[in-house]
Amino acid sequence: MKTTVKRQRDLHFGKGVHPSALVKSLEPFHETDFGAAYLCDSERVLADMPDRSANLIFTSPPYALHFKKAYGNVEKHEYIEWFLRFAKQFKRVLTDDGSFVLNIGGSYNKGSPTRSVYHFKLLVALVEEVGFHLAQEAFWYNPAKMPMPAEWVTVRRVRIKDSVEYLWWFSKTPHPKANNRNVLRPYSADMIRLNKRGVLETVRPSGHNITSRFTDISSGGSIPPNVIDDSDAESMLRLGNNSANDYYTKCCKRDGVKIHPARFPAALPEFFIKLLTDKGDLVYDPFAGSNTCGAVAERLGRRWLASENVEEYLIGSRYRFDEAAMVNGNGKSSVLVSESK
Ligand SMILES: C[S@@+](CC[C@H](N)C(=O)[O-])C[C@H]1O[C@@H](n2cnc3c(N)ncnc32)[C@H](O)[C@@H]1O
């Protein structure tokens, strides 16, 4: 069931081609001005993609926990082997200044109030076996996570609620393309007040010099921390991934289409797409689900590729590209200052 959404827009492909031209042996399930989504195992899309063709791979694979449920009783070490097959291809298809950002959650060991270290083993393997550099770790603060496992958190009350997931930023070389000016946050009221009042130059006990140079607020915003969260009530709603009222969810409910159960908020791909790519660059999400990432890339004028092996998730993903969703239905971005270029 192929669909195409084309709009009359200025396309900023730069030197690039439409992404469907990179996946020669497959027909897209869904195609837009900037991208193409494929209904298949990502290995098939990766096999077609030329070396050094993608600037950013941003993805959230099934975590080991979910992997077990959906794909049989696979042990966590098998998960790492499974994932490395894809990761080797990710490295091949990335440009030399490209990045791979992995959203992954932790989990508990079965029947024990202790945490698995499988995701840390995966991180080490991605660096030591595949050869990625760890550019930086970031965290997604997700206050909407359930207090699980119930046995330890809500029944025996011996563990606390997990509220973060990892966002590991890997790069192919030590110097990936990145510009933090594109993700500046609005200055806090305190910072604006300080700027008006003026700063007392001092040396902190830590040895850091506090000079007035760092309080110049004419540069457009403050450098964001590596915790991707929101500080105001309105955006808290947006960052949780349980929004019942966004355009995608409403359309799925209206048409009886299965809602993807493990979506990430648009703010996550938006942050890294702005930080790590330019207009016209290619962003690929190999475990696309409802294709949140592709829709954000489209809205930001980046080319995109997506692959997902469950048809019902791709059916719902098409709502994300409706004109109404493009305006604000994929999640607004008021925490972030608009791009500098
Ligand atoms: C955590 S979900 C991604 C959700 C997505 N970030 C969103 O916002 O909707 C992971 C997805 O990977 C898909 N998947 C798992 N193995 C796959 C494979 N080998 N090829 C393509 N998709 C796969 C699953 O069906 C699932 O929808």
In tens, the pLDDT along 152-172 reads: 999 999 999 999 999 999 999
Q: Are residues 180 and 294 in the same domain?
A: yes
Among left, alpha and beta (phi > 0; psi -120 to 50; other), residue 7 is beta
Q: How close is the Cα of 34 to the center of ligand 1, in Å?
A: 21
Does a structural domain hold residue 140?
yes
Q: Are residues 126 and 211 in the same domain?
A: no
Does a structural domain hold residue 336?
no
Does a structural domain hold residue 65?
yes
Beta bridge partners of 54: 94
In tens, the pLDDT along 206-220 reads: 888 777 665 566 667
Paired sense of beta strands 35-39 and 303-308, if any: parallel
Ligand 1 binding pocket mutation candidate from 308, 310, 320, 321 (most atoms within 8 A of CB): 308
Does a structural domain hold residue 136?
yes
Q: How far is the C-alpha of 187 from the C-alpha of 185, rounded, in Å? A: 6
Helix, strand, coil percentages (3-state) for the chain, rounded to 5, are 35, 20, 45
Q: Are residues 46 and 162 in the same domain?
A: yes
Q: Which residues contact 262 (CB under 8 A, 6 or more apart)?
A: 60, 62, 66, 241, 289
In tens, the pLDDT along 86-109 reads: 999 999 999 999 999 999 999 999
- Which residue, judged by its Cα, is nearest atom 3 of ligand 1? 289
Q: How close is the Cα of 316 to the center of ligand 1, in Å?
A: 13
Q: How close is the Cα of 107 to the center of ligand 1, in Å?
A: 18
Domain of residue 206: give its range.
186-222
Q: What single letter denotes the amino acid at residue 22? A: L
The residue ranges of the chain whose pLDDT is under 70 are 1-2, 4-15, 64-75, 212-219, 230-244, 327-341
**Ligand 1 binding pocket, CB closer than 6 Å:** 41-42, 60-62, 260, 262-264, 287, 289-290, 292, 307-310, 313
Selection from 17, 26, 15 nearest residue 48 by Cα: 26
Q: Are residues 163 and 212 in the same domain?
A: no
Selection from 226, 211, 327 nearest residue 275 by Cα: 226
Q: Are residues 174 and 200 in the same domain?
A: no
Does a structural domain hold residue 279?
yes
Helix (H, G, I), strand (E, B) or coil at 148: coil
Q: How close is the Cα of 43 to the center of ligand 1, in Å?
A: 13
